[in-house]
Amino acid sequence: MNYIIDGLKEALKIIFTMDKEFISIVGVSLRTSFIAILLAGIFGIPLGTWVGIGKFRGRGFMATILNTLVSLPTVVVGLTFYSLLSRRGPLGELGILFTPAAMIIGQFVLALPLVAAFSMGGVRNLGDRPFIAARLLGAGTLRSSILFFKEARFIVMTSMIAGFGRVFSEVGVSMMLGGNIRFYTRNITTSIALESSRGAFSLGIALGIILLMIAFVINLTLYYFQSK
Amino acid sequence: MINRLKILLLIGLFFVTFCVNTVFAEEILKLATTTSTYETGLLDYVFPAFEKKYNVKIHIISVGTGKAIKLGENGDVDVLLVHSPEVEEGFIREGYGLNRKTIMSNNFIIIGPKDDPACVRDLKNVKNALKNIARTQSIFVSRGDDSGTHNKEKFLWSKAGIVPQGEWYLESGQGMTQTLVIADEKNAYCLTDRATYLFNRDRLRLVKLLEEDNDLENPYSVIAVNPHKHSHIKYKLSMKFIEWITSSYCLRKIENYKKNGTTLFVPFRTVLNIKIL
């Protein structure tokens, strides 16, 4: 029992002294996940909207595919991109295996279907009426789209945050594509995995606390926007 | 509405500035190594001196020897630090590796429960020990991950003429430390390298039962990946690294890396010295 309490004490110390290693780990996590989710939003939200309210054949099938890909296992994405990005693979020339860029690519692929599926569900409820109304009032396509997404801003936020939660807490992609390199690609989850295999709990607990706190802050922000 | 947009913009801006500072000025050397050298903290103790001297950043990828060798074949790393002599020789024969230098040893040991139901303690060789374990069906935890330790274990079983299978033979598929923890929880026998065991001894109940046998030798070598196979390999830098790690300065440093007063990895020069004396 004692080692748990000691671990907890040590964890608080790590957080409050802003330990260099700790800061680097949290920074890597935030950086890669943030860029990945930004990219996933840029591609995923229009994609989801298109599948959600577009009028074309095979829409239902597309929606099913998106919903299936939401439960894509992280290790499958990891393994696939590992074989693609390895020097022997077709994308080996890029030389980005075991770099943050590789982690971002993997996390982007993980988040994309989730963001798209979430915004698909959301805009379906909203319907295309805001868009058509704007057009009728004389706005161009671009302006109507902007107005539409203003109307759908809560949906956009929710899907981005859901995606962020997924990539921020995953370990498979980060481990396989990042390689868990200290001060470079070691993030919160790969570090916790390493610490537990090393049998050192304190840094793991500290990181777990931070992981939860960041999730809390994000949801608080969401709640703030929602209640307005 | 405008205010909220402003806040969002500010948050966005903050993140973008925060994201941009990931550029590295130093050169990078990619090294694939085994879990034993990394999890015991040896590399974090030894490498900073090299990084400082040559203004290089060593990126350590810590996996089993099998995977490390694969990374070398694929050209995903520049240099290897591994411990599976037969596999290493194959790697060199096929032209993937150059300039192999054996630098230190970290012998294998057999650990097990204190009451030793398979009576391994009184034995002098591994062959009989494994035979006893199999005969008494005592639980044995294997790495099962094609690591250097796992290769050694498979070799030892075949030498004892046993195909280990059954409810008593468990494969963890994980690194050495994690495998030790599993073996400890199950109160089982296990083949481990000495350094990882010593490093974790304080939290294990299992005890060292057998260690002195030529079959348990475990030499570690550095190998440069052949630049003719992959043009992007940083051969000059990895040669500099190999020269440095085989220097007497570095070997002394390895010898000074201790846990509870015991050297974890015994550098080869001292081993030879002891034999000469």
Residue A205: the pLDDT is: 86
User: b/e for B211-233, b at 16 or more Cβ within 10 A?
Assistant: eebeebebbbbbbbbbbebbeeb
The pLDDT of B242-270, averaged and rounded, is: 89
Residues B129, B210: contact at Cβ < 8 Å?
yes
Residue B100: the pLDDT is: 92
Domain residues for the domain of A205 are 2-126+153-227
CB contacts of B30 in chain A (<8 Å) are 98
Residue A3: the pLDDT is: 73
Tell me which chain A residue has its CA closest to the CA of residue B4: A225
User: In angstroms, rounded to a whole number, what is the distance separating the alpha carbons of residues A66 and A77?
Assistant: 15
The answer on pLDDT for B269 being more than 70 is no
The residue among B144, B2, B174, B154 whose CA lies nearest residue B86 is B154
Tell me the nearest-neighbour CA distance from B166 into chain A, angstroms: 26
**Higher model confidence: residue A174 or residue A227?**
A174
The DSSP call for residue B124 is S
**Higher model confidence: residue B91 or residue A214?**
B91
The pLDDT of B238-264, averaged and rounded, is: 92
The answer on pLDDT for B23 being more than 50 is no
pLDDT-based confidence at B273, cuts 50/70/90? very low
The residue among B192, B154, B239, B142 whose CA lies nearest residue B39 is B192
CB contacts of B174 in chain A (<8 Å) are 197
Tell me the nearest-neighbour CA distance from B261 into chain A, angstroms: 20
User: In angstroms, rounded to a whole number, what is the distance separating the alpha carbons of residues A90 and A92?
Assistant: 6
Percent of residues, chain A, with pLDDT higher than 90: 51
CB contacts of A100 in chain B (<8 Å) are 22
The pLDDT of A87-116, averaged and rounded, is: 94
The answer on pLDDT for A119 being more than 50 is yes
Of B19, B35, B74, the CB nearest to A31: B19
Alpha helices in B22-102 (DSSP H): 35-39, 42-54, 65-73, 85-93
Q: Where are the beta strands (DSSP E) in chain B?
A: 27-33, 56-62, 79-82, 97-105, 108-112, 140-142, 169-171, 189-193, 207-210, 219-225, 258-259, 262-263, 266-267
Out of A19-23, A195-199, B101-105, B160-164, pick the least confident: A195-199
Computed over every residue of chain B, the mean pLDDT equals: 88
Q: Is A226 exposed, middle or buried (0-12, 13-18, 19+ CB in 10 A)?
A: exposed
Number of domains in chain A: 1
The pLDDT of B133-161, averaged and rounded, is: 93
Out of A50-54, B188-192, B265-269, pick the least confident: B265-269
Which residue of A20, A29, A175, A197 to mutate against B (max B Cβ within 10 Å)? A197
Out of A82-96, A185-199, B27-41, B85-99, pick the least confident: A185-199
Please state the pTM of the whole predicted model: 0.80
The pLDDT of A37-42, averaged and rounded, is: 96
Q: What is the DSSP string of A165-220?
A: HHHHH--HHIIIII---TTTT--HHHHHHHHHHHT--HHHHHHHHHHHHHHHHHHH
The answer on pLDDT for B274 being more than 60 is no
Residue A228: the pLDDT is: 64
Tell me the nearest-neighbour CA distance from B111 into chain A, angstroms: 19
User: In angstroms, rounded to a whole number, what is the distance separating the alpha carbons of residues B170 and B166?
Assistant: 8
Q: Is there a domain that residue A192 lies in?
A: yes
- Which residue has tokens 């220097």? B247
Neighbours of B67 (CB within 10 A): 17
Which residue of A88, A93, A190 to mutate against B (max B Cβ within 10 Å)? A88
The answer on pLDDT for A198 being more than 80 is no
Widest Cα–Cα separation across chain B: 83
Residue B175: the pLDDT is: 86
pLDDT-based confidence at A203, cuts 50/70/90? confident
Q: Which domains does chain B have, with CATH numbers?
A: 25-106+218-276 (3.40.190.10), 108-216 (3.40.190.10)
Phi, psi at residue B156, to the nearest 5°?
-65, -40
Residues A166, A114: contact at Cβ < 8 Å?
yes
Task: List strands edge to edge, sheet with B108-112.
Answer: B169-171, B140-142, B189-193, B108-112, B207-210
The answer on pLDDT for A98 being more than 50 is yes
Q: Is there a domain that residue A157 lies in?
A: yes
pLDDT-based confidence at A153, cuts 50/70/90? confident
Q: Is there a domain that residue A142 lies in?
A: no
The answer on pLDDT for B213 being more than 80 is no
Residue B145: the pLDDT is: 85
Q: Is A183 exposed, middle or buried (0-12, 13-18, 19+ CB in 10 A)?
A: middle
Q: Is there a domain that residue A203 lies in?
A: yes
Pairing of strands B219-225, B189-193: unpaired
Tell me the nearest-neighbour CA distance from A218 into chain B, angstroms: 12
CATH at residue A171: 1.10.3720.10
The pLDDT of A190-195, averaged and rounded, is: 88
Tens digit of each residue's pLDDT (9 = 90 or more) over A65-91: 999 999 999 999 999 999 999 988 999
The answer on pLDDT for A39 being more than 70 is yes
The pLDDT of A171-183, averaged and rounded, is: 93
Of B62, B181, B232, the CB nearest to A95: B232
Q: Is there a domain that residue A20 lies in?
A: yes
Phi, psi at residue B255, to the nearest 5°?
-65, -30
- Rounded-to-10 torsion of CA B71, B77, B79, B85: 0
The answer on pLDDT for A9 being more than 90 is no
Phi, psi at residue B150, to the nearest 5°?
-65, -40
Tell me the nearest-neighbour CA distance from A179 into chain B, angstroms: 6
Bridge partner residues of B97 (DSSP) = B225
Of A30, A86, A228, the CB nearest to B76: A86
Residues B183, B111: contact at Cβ < 8 Å?
yes
Residues B101, B224: contact at Cβ < 8 Å?
no
The answer on pLDDT for B22 being more than 60 is no
Computed over every residue of chain A, the mean pLDDT equals: 89
Helix (H) / strand (E) containing A224: helix A202-227
Residue B103: the pLDDT is: 93
Q: Is there a domain that residue A222 lies in?
A: yes
Q: Do A199 and B175 touch (CB under 8 A)?
A: no
Token pair, residue A42, equals 């840029």
Using a CB–CB cut-off of 8 Å, the residues of A that contact B are: 27, 30-31, 34-35, 86-88, 92, 95, 97-98, 100, 179-182, 184, 197-199, 225, 228
Q: Is there a domain that residue A140 lies in?
A: no
User: In angstroms, rounded to a whole number, what is the distance separating the alpha carbons of residues B165 and B186?
Assistant: 17
